Amino acid sequence: MITLVVLCFVSRAASGAVPRGLSLSFALLMQQALKSLLGLVTPAIDFDREPCLCFRVGWAEKRERRMAAAVAAAQERGLPKIDFTGVGQADTGSPSWEAVREQVMQALGSYGCFEAVYDRVTPQLRGSILEMAAEELFPLPLEAKIKNTSDKPFGGYLGQISGFDYESLAITDAPLPHGAPRFCGLLWPDGNPDFCEKAYTFSKKLGELEEMVRRMVLESLGVTEYHEEQSASIWYLLRFSKYGAVGDGEQEEEGERKKAGYMAHRDVNTLGIVCQLNGVDGLEVDSGDGQWIPAKPSSPTSYFVIAGDTFRAWSNGRVTAPLHRVNVGGEDTRYSVILFSVPKDEAVIQAPAELVDERRPTLFRPFAFGEFLRFCATEEGMKAECKLSAYCGRAAAAEAAEA
C-alpha cells in the first residue's frame, strides 16, 4: 500500500499513450517519471551539453564508462546484510541482540534499508505463499479480486491500469486472527482455510521481525520507553503483488521493449518488509549518491527491510527513507509480498523531545498520519519529489505558521 506510487510500465506510457482514468497533467507527470525510470530523459546533470561536436564520440564514451563504473561500484557495494539467526524478541539486552542492533541502526541511518536474513519463516512456508499467490490468488476472476476494498487510499486491490501489467491485493491486519479470514471470506466461497492459516502465520512471523527492528532503533536512539506506545499506534498490511512478464519480442511496440515495474518512490508508512517470492529480481534502492543498488536476496530466508517517511519524521531524520523502485523487464512474472507497518490515521507523528535539540532542530512539523496519507493521494502530493518535506518539512511548516 501506502507506497503511493504509480505503477509504471512501459514503453506504452513512455512512448506517449496516456493511461485511462488519470488526469492529463498527472499522466504527463507519470510519462516523465517513466521516461526517467527507463533512462529516456537525461537526469539532472546535463550530460547533453557536449563541449564540442568533434569530441562527441570520445566524450560520450567517457561518460558511459564513468556511469558504468559508478553502477558497478554500487552493485559491488550492495546493501547491508544483517543476520537475525538466533536473535528473537526475548533476547533484548543479550550480546547478540546488541550486535545486531548496532548494524540495524547503522544500516537504517545510512541506507534506510538492509537485507535481513531471518530464518523464522521456513522456506516451506515461503514456498506455500508463492504457490498460493500464483495459483490461487491472482488467477481469481476480477469480480472476486475487486471485493478487496479499503477505506484507505491504496489499501485494497490495485490493477487494471491501462498498459500496466501489475496487480496487487492486500490483507488488512494480516498478523491478527481476524485479518486473513475476513479477506479470504470475501474472495473464496469456502473462505480458503489453508490460505488463511498460512497468510496469518507468515505475517505474524514478519510482524515479529518488524517489531524487533523498530525496538532496536528506539533502543539505539535511547528512547525505548516509546516502543509500546508506538506499537499500539500501528497496524499491519500484507500486500501481494504480481508484475506481469514482459514477454518476448512479439510484444515489442515501435521497436521498444515493454518494461514493467514500480517507479521510484519512498514508502510513507513506518517500515516495509519485502519478500521476493520467486527468483525474479527487480527491487532497487537508491544509494543516496544517485546509484541504484539492486536488492537481490542472497538466501531463501532473505527479506529487505525498508524504512518509510513516517519513521524518518518520528526519528527526526536519524532513520533514512530511501527512494526505491522495481525494475522488471524480463520474460518471467515476478511475485512479491510485503508486510507494511502503518500508523493509524489518528496517530500523531512527532519526534520525541529527546531527539530534538539546538544542534538538531525538528525537521518536520507534527502531523496526523491520515492527513498526510490524504495529501499524498492528491495531485500535489503525487507530484512532490519528497512528499514528507512538501507536506510538513520545515519550510512548509514555516509557511503554514505565517499564513
Ligand X SMILES: O=C(O)CCC(=O)C(=O)O
Chain residues in the site for ligand X (CB under 6 A) = 3, 241, 262, 267, 274, 276, 283, 324, 326, 336, 338
Alpha helices in 123-192 (DSSP H): 123-132, 142-145, 179-187
Characterize 96-121 residue by residue with b for buried, 16 or more Cβ atoms within 10 angstroms of its Cβ, and e for exposed. Answer: ebeebbebbbebbbebbbbbbbbeeb
Q: By C-beta, is 101 or 239 nearer to ligand X?
A: 239
Q: By C-beta, is 148 or 276 nearer to ligand X?
A: 276
Q: By C-beta, is 215 or 239 nearer to ligand X?
A: 239
Tell me how far, at minimum, the Cβ of 368 lies from ligand X, in Å. 22
348: burial class by Cβ within 10 Å (0-12, 13-18, 19+)?
A: exposed
195: burial class by Cβ within 10 Å (0-12, 13-18, 19+)?
A: buried
- The residue of the chain with the least Cβ separation from ligand X equals 3
Q: By C-beta, is 301 or 336 nearer to ligand X?
A: 336
Tell me how far, at minimum, the Cβ of 338 lies from ligand X, in Å. 5
Tell me how far, at minimum, the Cβ of 51 lies from ligand X, in Å. 39
Q: By C-beta, is 3 or 192 nearer to ligand X?
A: 3
Say how far apart CA 47 and CA 113 lie, in whole Å: 30
Task: Give the list of residues 6+ apart from residue 58 with CB closer than 8 angstroms, or none.
Answer: none
Question: Closest Cα to residue 214, out of 175, 172, 269, 173?
Answer: 269
Tell me the DSSP string of 228-277.
HHHHHTEEEEEEEEEE----SGGG-BTTBPP-EEEEEE---SSEEEEEE-
Characterize 41-51 residue by residue with b for buried, 16 or more Cβ atoms within 10 angstroms of its Cβ, and e for exposed. Answer: eeeeeeeeeee
Q: By C-beta, is 6 or 212 nearer to ligand X?
A: 6
**H-helix or E-strand spanning residue 70:** helix 56-77
Tell me how far, at minimum, the Cβ of 40 lies from ligand X, in Å. 21
Cα distances (Å, whole numbers) of residue 132 to 69, 126, 146, 195, 253? 41, 10, 18, 7, 33
Tell me how far, at minimum, the Cβ of 112 lies from ligand X, in Å. 13
Tell me how far, at minimum, the Cβ of 276 lies from ligand X, in Å. 6
Q: By C-beta, is 79 or 338 nearer to ligand X?
A: 338
Residue with cell 507468515: 202
Say how far apart CA 52 and CA 132 lie, in whole Å: 58
Tell me how far, at minimum, the Cβ of 225 lies from ligand X, in Å. 30
Q: By C-beta, is 223 or 388 nearer to ligand X?
A: 388
Tell me how far, at minimum, the Cβ of 274 lies from ligand X, in Å. 5
CB 331 within 8 A of CB 245: yes
Q: By C-beta, is 69 or 377 nearer to ligand X?
A: 377
Cα distances (Å, whole numbers) of residue 52 to 42, 44, 66, 185, 328? 19, 20, 19, 67, 37
Tell me how far, at minimum, the Cβ of 261 lies from ligand X, in Å. 9
Q: By C-beta, is 87 or 283 nearer to ligand X?
A: 283
**H-helix or E-strand spanning residue 58:** helix 56-77
Tell me how far, at minimum, the Cβ of 1 lies from ligand X, in Å. 8
Tell me how far, at minimum, the Cβ of 345 lies from ligand X, in Å. 19
Question: Measured in whole angstroms, how far is the alpha carbon of residue 156 from the centre of its chain?
Answer: 16
143: burial class by Cβ within 10 Å (0-12, 13-18, 19+)?
A: exposed
Say how far apart CA 255 and CA 308 lie, in whole Å: 37
Q: By C-beta, is 154 or 314 nearer to ligand X?
A: 154
